[in-house]
Amino acid sequence: MTTLDEWTERLVRAAISERDRRAIAASESARQMVLERLESAVEDHDALHGWAVVGRVLADESASPSLVAEVVDALVAASPRAPEGWAPPARAAIIEAFVAAQREIEAERVKDAWRFPRCVVRLDESTAAVGIRRVHAEGTARARTALADALSVAGIDLAQMPPKPSRASR
């Protein structure tokens, strides 16, 4: 049995859901890349990048944090002849990448919730409410300041309008 096979088997045993099992399969090539650099993992930045790739793949596949926490330990058990000192930086890289990717995914979900037509709610036969995140408006500086203050109460940004070209530049 290869190290990758044993690592995969240990992860499958640690999986707590079908999503975890799919994430394990999806991460196979990224985990293979990590194995190829394991000998130089302590001083090799590409090896740490490989661990970050594994973390991002697992986040993209909605793996559980429990599975992600097990990935390095499963490889430690599957590869007892690996050089010393690689596990702590690998753990840090995979967790940081997983958390960062989850934040990005959640931010995209929030942005997506504001996109048309999801931002429109029908109130009755002739009325609809439209959720917005940013408003473009012209006016005096004083009016724009007042509008920006009013909109900020609802979490809406007043976008900066590009300056109008001067008559001399027309």
Give me the amino acid identity at 34: V
Rounded distance between C-alpha atoms, residue 110 and residue 44, angstroms: 36
Whether 38 and 99 share a structural domain:
yes
Q: Both 27 and 61 in a single domain? A: yes
**Same domain membership, residue 31 and residue 57:** yes
State the pLDDT at residue 42. Answer: 63
Give the model's pLDDT for residue 68.
98
Kindly state the helix (H) or strand (E) to which residue 120 belongs, with its residue range.
Answer: strand 120-124
- Regarding whether 81 and 63 lie in a shared domain, the answer is yes
Same domain flag for 46 and 24: yes
- Is this prediction's pTM over 0.75? no
Query: Looking at the structure, do residues 72 and 142 belong to the same domain, yes or no?
Result: no
Q: Is residue 167 part of a domain?
A: no
Cα end-to-end span (Å), the chain: 74
> Are 60 and 137 within one domain?
no
Please tell me whether residues 98 and 125 are part of one structural domain: no
- In which domain, by residue range, is 25 found? 3-112
**Are the C-beta atoms of residues 27 and 12 closer than 8 Å to each other?**
no
Residue by residue, pLDDT tens for the chain (170 residues) are 899 999 999 999 999 999 999 999 999 999 999 998 887 766 677 889 999 999 999 999 999 999 999 999 999 999 988 888 889 999 999 999 999 999 999 999 988 887 878 878 888 988 888 777 788 888 898 998 998 898 888 788 888 776 667 666 55
Last residue of a domain, one of 92, 112, 132: 112
Residue 46 near residue 38, CB atoms below 8 Å: no
Domain presence at residue 24: yes
Q: Verify that 130 and 152 share a domain, yes or no.
A: yes
Q: Are residues 56 and 86 in the same domain?
A: yes
Is residue 101, in this structure, part of any structural domain at all?
A: yes
Assess if residue 21 is contained within a domain. yes
Please indicate, yes or no, if residue 170 is contained in any of the structural domains.
Answer: no
| 41 & 88 share domain | yes
* Domain-located, residue 169: no
Identify whether residues 58 and 127 lie together within a single domain. no
- For 103, how many CA atoms within 13 A lie in the half-sphere containing its CB? 6
Is 139 domain-assigned?
Answer: yes
pLDDT at 111 (0 to 100): 84
- Closest-CA residue to 51 (of 85, 17, 13, 98): 98
Q: Is residue 168 a part of any domain in this protein?
A: no
pLDDT of residue 83: 84
Q: Tally the domains of the chain.
A: 2
